[in-house]
A and B are shown apart, each in its own frame.
Chain A
Amino acid sequence: NAGVMQNPRHLVRRRGQEARLRCSPMKGHSHVYWYRQLPEEGLKFMVYLQKENIIDESGMPKERFSAEFPKEGPSILRIQQVVRGDSAAYFCASSATGSNTEAFFGQGTRLTVV
């Protein structure tokens, strides 16, 4: 049973480009969470999605960031017009239900903006 798969592991983008980060949850999981880890800091919640629905986006920056979890395919975190401050590790986690269950993490995508 494969775990949470994130790709790419490393992504380099120039300022102003778009970054697309993908997350395939564990088999049977329909709840996905995205977290951001800035250098020397802990993980910060960004968004919680169920299939085709954004449930909680309280941690998402108001501009340039968006997330989706379509009926088919992986969840996508999209960052438009990237800036240096977007450089971070982005983690995806998934859970089987939306209440009181453990979330399993992927290995993260390290985004570097040059």
Chain B
Amino acid sequence: AQTVTQSQPEMSVQEAETVTLSCTYDTSENNYYLFWYKQPPSRQMILVIRQEAYKQQNATENRFSVNFQKAAKSFSLKISDSQLGDTAMYFCAFMKQNPTVMEYGNKLVFGAGTILRVKS
């Protein structure tokens, strides 16, 4: 079974500064995906960024980037130039990669989340 651990229950950052959220995971799988989701007060789950384990290059989406360390099973999220709208709960999630012909489902395993507050 896979587990995902987010060791920071809460984080704060000043507007325009950079913040890094930590995530570690445990799996015996070699092929998988990792995700960061944002959940604002509206409760909508919004995909922030996605990383395929077979890719060595770290994923980047505008102000969001990850530091993926496969051997260490670490997947941190860096938010640059933080904005007030980034205030939310952030979840790290793991999904096993399935053989394409077998539809086992895209089941996600989530961490407990980190509340990020951006201060003006």
Contact = CB atoms under 8 A, between A and B. Distances in A.
A93 B106 CA distance: 10
Nearest to A41: B112
Given A89-B43, A107-B44, A108-B43, A45 B102 contact: no
Given A105-B44, A107-B42, A95 B106 contact: yes
A99 B110 contact: no
A15 B101 CA distance: 44
Interface stretch (A16-24, A48-56, A68-76, A79-87): A48-56
A99 B33 CA distance: 12
Interface in B1-59: 4, 6, 33, 42-45, 47, 50
Contacts of A100: 33, 97-98, 100, 106
B8 to A, nearest CB: 13
Interface of B: 4, 6, 33, 42-45, 47, 50, 91, 97-113
Given A42-B112, A48-B107, A100-B100, 8 more contacts: A41-B112, A42-B4, A43-B108, A43-B110, A93-B108, A99-B101, A100-B33, A105-B44
Interface of A: 31, 33, 35, 40-45, 48, 50, 55-56, 89, 91, 93, 95, 97-103, 105, 107-108, 110
